[in-house]
A and B are shown apart, each in its own frame.
Chain A
Amino acid sequence: MMAAMSTGGGEPGSQAESRTSRSPQAMLERRYARLGLLLIAPSIVVFSAVIIYPLLAAIYLSLFELYTPTLEGGFVGLSNYRELLARGEFWVSLRNTLVWTAGTLSLQIVFGIGMALMLHQNVWFRSLARSLILFPYFVSTVVAVLVWRWLFNDLYGILNHLLVEARLIDMPIDYLGAMPNAMISIILVGAWKYFPFVVIAVLARLQTIPDVLYEAARIDGAGPIARFFDVTLPQLREVLLVIVLLRAIWDFKEFDLIFLLTGGGPVISTQTLSLLVYKEAFALNQMGMGAAYGVVMMAIMLVFMIFYIRQARKGDSS
């Protein structure tokens, strides 16, 4: 009876047991397994219809030359891939994607850890401060972009006004229409929008570091900086790895923020792979070529994804 009840539990032996015996417990186990499958069935159906099928269809589409509005065209095999690797635009977009990801991710991590360390201390109105910090993360990208485009406005934007007042610049800056400003601007706005995620995750981990460790370090004569490097950072190592992987994946595939801030411009200077897929499929109406870009993009992401999933699996089993 006990074995049957721990079906959902963690008894490693219970499964093997059920296969060999024909006892009532074993039958109950089999019934439960069937019920379990029945309960997950709706999820599997939805997954297959809206994720697995489209994923496979995207790979299939990448072998065709298709005109999006009419869906006319034919099978071309791997020629889309040959063409895209030969195109300069693909390599430019890949480089942009890497610059954007590396830039915004490192800022997110640095600001995120810094802010988490500050908010971990006893600050006046701490919960209000935390809520204010979190807000950029929850607000819609559309709202974030509208606000920043207003701040960046060349004639009436407050940013240019303040910088001119402070005599840091003579002429208003064109934040989004010139390079390298446009890339720097999207990296900064991306950091502003997504660093709260790092804050939350690090803050949650900081709260579980035992005080004894700090006391021991203090007795050993370690100052605040030494304590950070000897106690805090090693304790954060694991969570930071997960954060970096997750954010790298999300930043790599970011579409909304860049599309709405610069649209990939000037020309294609801030065009990332996500934007390239969209442009090819829906602006240039080359559905097959767009799919091919998408597949290549996913192949690159797969490296991070597999790494992350392995990491998550480790955390899951412990």
Chain B
Amino acid sequence: MMRRILFNLSVWSAVLIVAFPLFWMVVTSLKPQVELWARPPALLPLEPTLEHYLTLLRDTSFLVYFRNSVLLSTATTLLVIGVAALGAYSLVRFRYRGRESLAMLVLFTYLLPSVILILPLYLMMVKLGLANTLVSLVLAYTTFALPYALWLLRSFMAGIPEDLESAALVDGATRLGAFRDVILPQLLPGIISTALFTFILSWNEYLFALVLVNSDATRPLTTGVMNMLISSFNIEWSMLMAASVMMSLPLIIAFSLLQKYLTRGFGAGAVKG
């Protein structure tokens, strides 16, 4: 019994150490400015305040960045899921020459460093007149989102029993009819979790946004918030922590939705390879 308690305590202290930075982020965002400089720092805010959140929403471009991030991540997710669902169906359930090589190409591109792709992509966007637009970011984001979604959906697709589709075909359905009526409903959990993961990836992206977009009107949250740190004269840590909390909110929501798919998505997409 004693050993069990000790074990639990040590596990939980390890967990709390890992989670501490995030706890500290929330605490700092709620502290009034004076408490920030107090020695020793209080573990919880003595007089919790939402003033930093209000300043953030009222006096900065945070809401513009937020809107841009929402638009950007949603557009990327929709585009990528649409293309990848068809592609994954093709890669798993059809036979043609080069199919295996295509699958391996997808995996290969998934591992490519963005820092190399960004150079020609930047030139391409300038040439197309798309520099500094959200469209250029959506296009750039497909470089990592599409291989990711294709690979993930491919393994979800492989998990759907083939008999279902065969039965529909015997009943006279066409392949695309069977895809719509049989495969899609079965694939739905896979599509949802792939969509959430893709959304998170896009939401968190930094490098492409740094290179391709440089005006406040088109900046997403990552570069926008980072810009607040760099451009401010004296750094307002509580406001930056408030921004960090707000920026993580959609993740927390996605996270709680993901709970049951989490392990599966991970296992299917990244680990099983």
Contacts and interface: CB of A to CB of B under 8 A. Distances in A.
Contacts of A86: none
A119 to B, nearest CB: 7
B232 to A, nearest CB: 12
Contacts of A129: 11-12, 15
Contacts of B15: 129, 132-133
Contact of B21 (A36, A138, A151, A305): A151
Contacts of B143: 50-51, 54
Interface residues of A, number: 99
A262 B243 CA distance: 21
Given A118-B11, A124-B12, A158-B24, A203 B263 contact: yes
Interface in B238-273: 240-241, 243-244, 247-248, 251, 255, 259, 262-263, 266-267, 270-273
Interface residues of B, number: 97
Contacts of B226: 142, 146, 260
A127 to B, nearest CB: 8
Query: Which of A54, A124, A253 counts the most B-chain CB atoms under 10 A from its CB?
Result: A54
B83 A46 contact: yes
Given A7-B95, A124-B8, A147 B22 contact: yes
Contacts, number: 287
Contacts of A216: none
Contacts of A9: 162
Contacts of B96: 33, 36-37
A260 B116 contact: no
Given A43-B150, A150-B28, A239-B271, A138 B8 contact: no
Contact of A147 (B21, B36, B203, B266): B21
B120 A305 contact: no
Interface in B179-235: 200, 203-204, 206-207, 211, 221-222, 225-226, 229
A146 B244 contact: yes
Interface string A194-206: 0001001101100
Interface in A16-42: 29, 32-33, 35-40, 42
Chain B interface, DSSP helix/strand/loop, else mixed? helix
Contact of B108 (A44, A192, A309): A309
Chain A interface, DSSP helix/strand/loop, else mixed? helix
A301 B263 CA distance: 28
Query: Which of A146, A246, A256 counts the most B-chain CB atoms under 10 A from its CB?
Result: A146
Interface string B150-173: 100000000000100110011000
B139 A147 contact: no
A148 interface: yes
Given A50-B139, A132-B15, A312-B104, 13 more contacts: A42-B83, A51-B143, A55-B120, A58-B119, A119-B11, A121-B7, A123-B12, A132-B16, A133-B19, A139-B204, A146-B241, A278-B207, A290-B119
9 contacts: A39-B94, A40-B87, A47-B147, A132-B15, A136-B21, A140-B203, A142-B221, A201-B270, A246-B273
Q: For the complex of A and B, list the 6 residue pairs with the smallest distance between their C-beta atoms, beginning with the closest.
A: A36-B94, A8-B93, A312-B273, A43-B87, A57-B120, A253-B113
Interface of B: 7-8, 10-12, 14-16, 18-19, 21-22, 24-25, 28, 36-37, 39-41, 83-84, 86-87, 89-96, 99, 102-109, 111-121, 123-124, 139-140, 142-143, 146-147, 150, 162, 165-166, 169-170, 175-176, 200, 203-204, 206-207, 211, 221-222, 225-226, 229, 237, 240-241, 243-244, 247-248, 251, 255, 259, 262-263, 266-267, 270-273
Interface of A: 5-9, 14-15, 29, 32-33, 35-40, 42-44, 46-47, 49-51, 53-55, 57-58, 61, 71, 115, 118-119, 121, 123-124, 127, 129, 131-136, 138-144, 146-151, 153, 156, 158, 161, 165, 192, 197, 200-201, 203-204, 239, 242-243, 246, 249, 253, 255-256, 260, 274, 277-278, 281-282, 287, 290-291, 294-295, 297-298, 301, 305, 308-309, 311-313, 315-316
